[in-house]
Amino acid sequence: MTVAELFRLSDILKQVMREQGHDFNLVVIPEQEVSDGSGDEKATDLHLTIVNATVRDVVVLPSPGNKAASDRRSAAVAERCRLKGVSDFPLVESYLNQLKSEGSLTTAALERQILLAEDIPGVSVEVFLRPDCDEVGGTQLVASVTVDEREYQASLDNRASKFTGPMEATAGVRFRSLITQGDEIGLTAYNTLNREQVFGLIDGSTARSERPACGCAAASGPAAPSPAISCAMSATTGCCSPPASG
């Protein structure tokens, strides 16, 4: 096999893995001695390496754009909390931690866990991946979480019963993560305008987690962007290195 054929094989393997959803796997052609067998030298076998991407660590931080969470916690404090085994977003972290059991990280598995995390009321998740320098193919998953803590709604229409008059008005507010992360409490008021008929509703739901909320001391100032976002991958080692300065 020639060097050109080896590179073509590498491209074919990458395409096959992408078609199977393994977008994060690597095909690496390591540095190696090449000889065509001419003269006294023995022809050498060319080889390549397939590196499976696996999630080794999960870091969950408040989004820099989520002012309420950012004011309570800086990225540095969140990292100290993570090392102590506590989190501001234990439910989100519990979903994403399930990716650690995947033998090879796939796009479908990653999308599924993100969608499950975003089923938590008011939660949206943005995920970044960076290589883990301690293990080739290892990946650190960094999640930036935004929580929409309140939602307001109001309506006015003429679809009420003929016995109460056609006009009706509804107003409501929903509070999210008010007591614990994952809970939702709603207050709704209803009134018919033509005749006196008032209706009120209080409802709520919660999701449970065995992980405690973070009790580390708060730090002032906005959360700094995670350095994971700016990490570059080496094509030969799969390890991360700081991006080249301008």
* Alpha-carbon span 233 to 238, nearest angstrom: 6
* pLDDT tens readout for residues 170-189: 999 999 888 877 888 999 99
* pLDDT tens readout for residues 179-222: 877 888 999 998 888 777 777 788 777 765 444 334 333 333 43
Residues 18 and 87 in one domain: no
Residues 154 and 188 in one domain: yes
Parallel, antiparallel, or unpaired for β 232-233 and 240-241? Answer: antiparallel
Q: Is residue 31 in a domain?
A: yes
pLDDT of residue 112: 93
* Alpha-carbon span 36 to 44, nearest angstrom: 7
Residues 111 and 57 in one domain: yes
pTM over 0.75: no
Q: Based on the structure, what is the number of domains in the chain?
A: 3
Domain stops at, among 11, 31, 50: 50
Residues 110 and 188 in one domain: no
* pLDDT tens readout for residues 2-47: 778 888 888 999 899 888 888 888 888 887 777 665 655 555 677 8
pLDDT of residue 31: 79
Domain span at 187: 150-205
* pLDDT tens readout for residues 59-72: 888 776 554 444 44
Residues 128 and 155 in one domain: no
* Alpha-carbon span 209 to 238, nearest angstrom: 34
Residues 192 and 173 in one domain: yes
Return mean pLDDT, the chain.
Answer: 74
pLDDT of residue 216: 39
Residues 138 and 158 in one domain: no
Residues 79 and 142 in one domain: yes
Question: Beta-carbon neighbour count of residue 198 at 10 Å?
Answer: 8
Residues 76 and 132 in one domain: yes
Q: Is residue 237 in a domain?
A: no
Residues 65 and 133 in one domain: yes
Question: At CA 107, angle to CA 55 and CA 8, rounded to 5?
Answer: 95
pLDDT band at 226 (very low <50, low <70, confident <90, very high): very low
Q: Is residue 119 in a domain?
A: yes
Using DSSP's 3-state secondary structure scheme, residue 202 falls into strand
Q: Is residue 245 in a domain?
A: no
Nearest to 143 by CA among 156, 166, 126: 126
Q: Is residue 154 in a domain?
A: yes
Distance, CA of 117 to chain centre: 8
pLDDT band at 158 (very low <50, low <70, confident <90, very high): confident
Using CB atoms within 10 A of its CB, is residue 244 exposed (0-12), middle (13-18) or buried (19+)? exposed
Section 154-171 average pLDDT: 86
Burial state string for 204-219 with b = 16 or more CB within 10 A and e = fewer than 16 = eeeeebeeeebebeee
Residues 46 and 65 in one domain: no
Residues 58 and 75 in one domain: yes
Domain stops at, among 148, 165, 186: 148
* Alpha-carbon span 97 to 84, nearest angstrom: 16
Q: Is residue 215 in a domain?
A: no
Inter-residue contact 91 to 207 (CB < 8 Å): yes
